[in-house]
Amino acid sequence: MELPGVSGQIMNQEKARIYLLNKKVLFPHSAQAVILRNTVASSELKTGDKIITYPLRNILDIFLIKRRISTLAEITEVSINEKQIKLQIKGLARIRITGIKGFREASYEPVHYAPVKNEGAMTKELRVKAQELIFLINVDESDRLIALMNFLVDLNQICDFIANYFILDNRIRIILLNQTDITTRCENLIDTIDALIDKFRSRGENQ
157-200 confidence digits (pLDDT tens): 999 988 988 888 888 999 999 999 999 999 999 999 999 999 88
pLDDT in tens, 191-205: 999 999 998 888 766
Question: What pLDDT score does 21 carry?
Answer: 86
Average pLDDT score over residue span 95-103: 85
pLDDT in tens, 46-56: 999 999 999 88
The conformation of residue 22, written as its DSSP 8-state character, comes to: E
Nearest residue to 49 via CA among 82, 85, 84, 23? 85
Cα(83)–Cα(76) distance, integer angstroms: 20
26 found inside a domain: yes
Question: What pLDDT score does 205 carry?
Answer: 64
Looking at the structure, do residues 23 and 104 belong to the same domain, yes or no?
yes
Range of the domain at 53: 11-110
Looking at the structure, do residues 77 and 135 belong to the same domain, yes or no?
no
Last residue of a domain, one of 93, 110, 127: 110
The distance in angstroms from the start CA to the end CA of the chain is 40
Residue 82 pLDDT class (50, 70, 90 cuts)? confident
The conformation of residue 112, written as its DSSP 8-state character, comes to: P
Question: What pLDDT score does 6 carry?
Answer: 32
pTM of the predicted protein model: 0.82
Last residue of a domain, one of 110, 133, 167: 110
Looking at the structure, do residues 198 and 167 belong to the same domain, yes or no?
yes
> Which residues are 52's β-sheet partners?
18, 72
Percentage with pLDDT > 70 across the chain: 87
CB atoms within 10 A of CB 34: 18
Looking at the structure, do residues 86 and 162 belong to the same domain, yes or no?
no
Looking at the structure, do residues 103 and 63 belong to the same domain, yes or no?
yes
Looking at the structure, do residues 85 and 132 belong to the same domain, yes or no?
no
How many domains are there within the chain? 2
Helix-then-strand count for the chain, H and E: 5, 6
16 found inside a domain: yes
Question: What pLDDT score does 58 carry?
Answer: 75
5 found inside a domain: no
Looking at the structure, do residues 190 and 129 belong to the same domain, yes or no?
yes
199 found inside a domain: yes
Looking at the structure, do residues 125 and 180 belong to the same domain, yes or no?
yes
Looking at the structure, do residues 73 and 92 belong to the same domain, yes or no?
yes
Looking at the structure, do residues 137 and 194 belong to the same domain, yes or no?
yes
Looking at the structure, do residues 106 and 35 belong to the same domain, yes or no?
yes
Question: What pLDDT score does 207 carry?
Answer: 58
- pLDDT for 132 beyond 70: yes
